[in-house]
Amino acid sequence: MSFIVSPQSLSFDQPLQLQGGGVLRQYKLSYETYGELNADRSNAVLICHALNASHHVAGSYLAEDKSQGWWDNMVGPGKAVDTNRFFVIGVNNLGSCFGSTGPMHINPETGRIYGADFPVVTVEDWVNAQARLLDSLGIDQLAAVMGGSLGGMQALSWSLQFPHRLRHAVVIASSPNLNAENIAFNEVARRAIATDPDFHGGHFYAQGVIPKRGLRIARMLGHITYLSDDVMNSKFGRLLQEGEIFKYSTQEVEFQIESYLRYQGDKFSEYFDANTYLLITRALDYFDPAAAYQGNLQQALAKATAKFLLVSFTTDWRFAPARSREMVKALVANQRQVSYAEIDAPHGHDAFLLDDPRYLSLVGAYFERISLEEAA
Amino acid sequence: MNPVLRDAVVQMVPYGSRVLDLGCGDGAMLAYLQQQHGCSGYGVEIDDANVLACVKRGVEVVQLNLDQGLSMFDDQSFDVVLQIDTLQHLRNAQTMLVETVRVGRMGIVTFPNFAHWPNRLSVLLGRMPVTKKLPFEWYDTPNIRVGTFADFFSLAKKNQLHIQDAFGLQDDGVVRRWPNVRAATAVFQLSALNN
């Protein structure tokens, strides 16, 4: 059993200008904190989430079985990000569906549910909102911002948007932008959702339906890309779901991998919001800090003053090591302090959430260093 | 880290240099250069345990396979590039030598000198040497090549590298007389010829 935590929420009335031109006049952010903020408010660590996660990073909710946070193996008392030393903040991003203002909430301007009218939000917008949460918590400077995948993009963006508000950026299994193949996967997922007859142009809430078919397909596709060929083969191979002979059916589940993907899709469609999926994959697509510098990442990262730890996983083909190396190269060219580990793990992109002792002890050693600097 | 080797290297590194240490091991050399010699920079390592050791001691480290080249690093972007007992583990030792002086204004290369007289004696008696500097049996050595002080001269010449200094090392210090015979370790200070 993990430690007990409870979510909190803060409302903001100061309008948030969005990169895409829209404005959120008022919004709320759900967040959780673990550990104690020290007297000089210097030990705060912000954890940014990826596509389908939330502010519930670590710990468990009281009397709720299986309610461990999504990075509970990484964050907690005595863990790599040690909450006995650090004050850790997890925050749910705008447009998500776990408590912070999102498409399933009421648009105060129309009195109706936002649905498809929820403004497009970007990584930069999220970081701006996170910064306001820190203002409210009285934290000027973070010891570190950390995230994996899309969360890593937020950590990188923090170092560019607010270079003096963080000392370290920990960017795991991430990328300085998505390549065409990656955008293509996102687009297939979005089309699966948007063409579901139950989607109703994003205003399905009023119809009392949920575009579950689209969500299932989106999740099945996503799930394939988060795993590696090797791990799928070793886990499922060509094993059949029932018996040892084919049913010779085109529609029934035949192979175990089909059953697994269907199960993952069903589970996801029960709790995830369709508009959120569209919004968050779009935020992934749009992120590209080098774009303002004609694609020159070195120039783009010149603003960053934080120290960096980057980690990638050898079998991650969705956020491949080569993409992390691009960031390392740009940081080295700017003479920034950066360390980079390439973990030889079989689990593909999912590896960043899993228990690999090399990975966890590396991150732990890095945070140990941060806390020693802290004490110095 | 052998203190004689360490001191010999430190003497060649200008104070405050930006240093790239290829095959930095547990980061001991870089840590020393940072703490005692005003240096900054990065280590490059392939081994997970060494990468962890570097992070633990506060040495910036980039996990790369040197046999994949140094495209991560720009031309002349470091004052000094170190290859301390790394060369004998590399498949493309020649390429890496050229890369070392492309990336660094100065390169410092050390490796076990196979022509050291106890090694010669051992081979003369028909056996591969097992010494303090070459402590492995022939069948389980991590070294994929051995070379001599004299061999390195001709390799440097072939690649048009400028040898700024070259000497041998023994436990009791620098060997400048007959290093090809008298020294277990060969040390070369290099730059690109056109510098």
Q: Tens digits of per-residue pLDDT, B60-104? A: 999 999 988 899 999 999 999 999 999 999 999 999 999 999 999
CB A166 within 8 A of CB A159: yes
Strand stretches in A99-181, DSSP E: 106-107, 112-113, 144-148, 168-172
Find the radius of gyration of the CA atoms of chain A: 21
Q: Is A316 labeled as catalytic in the residue annotation?
A: yes
- Looking at residue B1, what is its pLDDT? 82
Task: For residues A27 and B195, give the distance between their C-alpha atoms in angstroms, rounded to a whole number.
Answer: 60
Name the nearest CA neighbour of A94 among A135, A58, A122, A52: A122
Token pair, residue A149, equals 């995948």
With CB atoms and an 8 Å threshold, state whether B62 touches A338.
yes
What's the length of chain B?
195
Chain A neighbors of B60, CB-CB under 8 A = 337-339
Name the nearest CA neighbour of A203 among A278, A123, A152, A280: A278
Chain B neighbors of A309, CB-CB under 8 A = 55
CA within 13 Å, CB half, A340: 31
* Residue in A49, A55, A56, A349 annotated catalytic: A349
Chain B neighbors of A345, CB-CB under 8 A = none
- A-B C-beta contacts closer than 8 Å: 53
Chain A neighbors of B61, CB-CB under 8 A = 339-341
- Looking at residue A289, what is its pLDDT? 98
pTM: 0.96
CA within 13 Å, CB half, A297: 18
CB A62 within 8 A of CB A13: no
Residue type, B9: V
A326 interface with B at CB cutoff 8 Å: no
B61 interface with A at CB cutoff 8 Å: yes
Token pair, residue A6, equals 């409870």
What's the length of chain A?
376
Give this complex's ipTM. 0.94
* Residue in A72, A82, A196, A316 annotated catalytic: A316
With CB atoms and an 8 Å threshold, state whether A338 touches B60.
yes
With CB atoms and an 8 Å threshold, state whether A333 touches B64.
no
Find where tokens 């687009």 sit. Answer: A187
- Looking at residue A2, what is its pLDDT? 79
How far away is chain A from the Cα of B103, in angstroms, using its nearest Cα?
12
Strand partners, B14: none
* DSSP symbols for A106-158: EETTTTEE-GGGSPP--HHHHHHHHHHHHHHHT-SSBSEEEEETHHHHHHHHH
- Rounded percentage of chain B residues whose pLDDT exceeds 70: 99
* DSSP symbols for A321-364: HHHHHHHHHHHHHTT--EEEEEE--SSGGGGGGS--HHHHHHHH
With CB atoms and an 8 Å threshold, state whether A366 touches B72.
no
Q: Output the tens digit of pLDDT for each of chain A's 376 residues.
A: 579 999 999 999 999 999 999 999 999 999 999 999 999 999 999 999 999 999 999 999 998 988 999 999 999 999 999 999 999 999 999 999 999 999 999 999 999 999 999 999 999 999 999 999 999 999 999 999 999 999 999 999 999 999 999 999 999 999 999 999 999 999 999 999 999 999 999 999 999 999 999 999 999 999 999 999 999 999 999 999 998 899 999 999 999 999 999 999 999 999 999 999 999 999 999 999 999 999 999 999 999 999 999 999 999 999 999 999 999 999 999 999 999 999 999 999 999 999 999 999 999 999 999 999 876 6
* Residue in A60, A96, A149, A324 annotated catalytic: A149
Residues 6 or more apart whose CB falls under 8 angstroms from that of A373 comprise A167
Task: For residues B54 and B60, give the distance between their C-alpha atoms in angstroms, rounded to a whole number.
Answer: 7
Residue type, B82: L
Task: For residues B112 and B87, give the distance between their C-alpha atoms in angstroms, rounded to a whole number.
Answer: 9
Whether the predicted pLDDT of B194 surpasses 80: no
Find where tokens 């410092």 sit. Answer: B108
- Looking at residue A376, what is its pLDDT? 65
With CB atoms and an 8 Å threshold, state whether B48 touches A369.
no
CB A8 within 8 A of CB A90: no
B72 interface with A at CB cutoff 8 Å: yes
* DSSP symbols for A66-93: T---TTTTTEETTSSEETTT-EEEEEPP
How far away is chain B from the Cα of A145, in angstroms, using its nearest Cα?
18
Cα A320–chain centre separation: 16
